Structure 1
Amino acid sequence: MSAEIVQLLEQAGPYLTTAVSAYGVAVFTRAECAAADATANLGRRILQVVWRRHDAQGRAELEAAVHDAAEAPEDADAAAALRQQVKRALREDAELRAELARLLPALGETANVTASGERSIAAKTIGTAVTGDNTTIRP
């Protein structure tokens, strides 16, 4: 297996798990949900891309893997079976690998933000933040 596929699976894994936990098998038909977090929405998009590129048998196998993972979220074997379905699809489809790479955040794009000290704020991006007492914010 290529290093590219391993890297894509490692990146996609948390998104897939979160999407399956949030949506279950409805992940294939569900539209993006503003109430769901970005991780679940990205995982849903990844699974939908993989599902759309499968034939009927591949879709059924992927749906079964999602169903099993949704039914037993703590089952590492069920999560591994789902990743195996995605891995198989990636091995067989170079265009899918490219599409998945475009969906996933670029490596190194993550930010480590640390707040230290009283009333500290840690954020990658921020609008208005106030940590003082008796502060008035005017538009």
Structure 2
Amino acid sequence: MTFDVAQLVEQGWPFVGAAVGAYGTAVLTRTADEGATATVSLGRRVLQRLWRREESRPYLQRAVQGVADDPEDTEAQAGLRAEIRRLLREDDELARDLAELLPAPVRPNESYVASGQGAVTARVNHGVISTGGDVTVER
């Protein structure tokens, strides 16, 4: 089975970018952080799966470092995305693993409607949705 690597990278980028922004290069080796948002946690898991390929670690670390040094640097972001694309193109099993890990891509022209007091709609949710006024959420 082949995967659209560019689409996988695009799907994963918001999570990867958030994780690098939160942890810098420590994201590559950091264990689970209970205080991390679902987005950051998923980005950390994506990067750590890429990190398993030992021969690619220096390149991935350099690319992550570029984004960690300046998270707003679009060239650094492009460099990390390019490195992720390269890793996924070289390893179908890794691409399959990430495709299963990431949420399904948004489909064009797909819409949802929620109506009524407290109504919520979400195609994918990685956290809590609460519309109550006096709610306590524990993790």
Aligned to 1:23: 23
Q: How many residues align?
A: 125
Alpha-carbon spacing, 1:113–1:78, altered in 2? closer, same or farther (3 Å): farther
Match of 1:79 among 72, 77, 80: 77
Aligned to 1:48: 48
Q: TM-score, normalised by structure 1?
A: 0.77
Whose RCO is larger (CA < 8 A, sep 6+)?
2
Offset at residue 107 of structure 1 (A): 2.7
Larger radius of gyration: 1
- 3-state secondary structure, aligned to 2:30: coil
> How many angstroms apart in 1 are the aligned matches of 2:45 and 2:111?
23
CA contact (8 A) 1:113 1:122 kept: no
| Superposed CA offset, 1:28-80 (max 9, x none) | 1111212111111101100000110241xx20111011111011011000011
CA contact (8 A) 1:115 1:122 kept: yes
Alpha-carbon spacing, 1:88–1:115, altered in 2? closer, same or farther (3 Å): same
Q: TM-score, normalised by structure 2?
A: 0.77
> How many angstroms apart in 2 are the aligned matches of 1:45 and 1:66?
14
Aligned to 2:32: 32
Offset at residue 3 of structure 1 (A): 6.5
Alpha-carbon spacing, 1:19–1:111, altered in 2? closer, same or farther (3 Å): farther
Q: Unpaired segments of 5 or more residues in structure 1?
A: 132-139
> How many angstroms apart in 2 are the aligned matches of 1:108 and 1:114?
18
> How many angstroms apart in 2 are the aligned matches of 1:113 and 1:30?
39
Aligned to 1:136: none
CA contact (8 A) 1:19 1:43 kept: yes
